Amino acid sequence: MNSQLCHLKGTVCDCGRYRKVVGQLDISVARLKTSMKFVKNVIAGIRETEEKFYYIVQEEKNYRESLTHCRIRGGMLAMPKDEAANTLLADYVSKSGFFRVFIGVNDLEREGQYVFTDNTPLQNYSNWKEGEPSDPYGHEDCVEMLSSGRWNDTECHLTMYFVCEFVKKKK
């Protein structure tokens, strides 16, 4: 009697064999997930936290172009809102061999009032380089992160690489 018939008649079938197959599939899926993480981190150069993915875009763009580039792809210019995120980004920038990148902080609306690109103020966290933000001529309204993790206000028309952040979809 073949196993399909067994199953239909409700008689005992060889479940042990199926459990083994399912177990092997679980192992394969786990291996694939590990490989994908490796690909994302090493090949694509993505960094991630529980909530977000970060990606350095290696195209020199000015601040507004950087903002648009991230938005079109469903993200935002990276907003390091705490020490952990800032450290992760700084490590990412320095390990990638870059000196500076645009991040999602500016005072374009009101001089001297820096906000993240989602318009939240820098109340709880900032990481300015000593003596910054300086803006001696009133032209430095955008912010770059240096490979040290420190922030510096700079001119928005300059072009450099930048970091996008993407919120992970809730499972």
* Entry pTM: 0.76
Per-residue pLDDT reduced to its tens digit, 119-147: 999 988 999 999 999 988 889 999 999 99
Q: Vertex 165, ends 51 and 81: CA angle to 5°?
A: 70
CATH code: domain 47-167 is 3.10.100.10
**Cβ proximity of 53 and 154 under 8 Å:** no
Domain range annotation of the chain:
13-43, 47-167
**What's the chain's length in residues?**
171
Distances in whole angstroms, Cα of residue 47 to Cα of each of 51, 91, 154, 165? 11, 10, 25, 9
Q: Which residues pair with 145 in a beta bridge?
A: 101, 151
Strand boundaries in 127-167, DSSP class E: 142-146, 151-154, 160-167
Per-residue pLDDT band for 1 (boundaries 50, 70, 90) equals: very low
**Cβ proximity of 86 and 126 under 8 Å:** no
Per-residue pLDDT reduced to its tens digit, 20-67: 888 899 999 988 887 777 666 666 678 888 899 999 999 999 999 999
**Cβ proximity of 96 and 45 under 8 Å:** yes
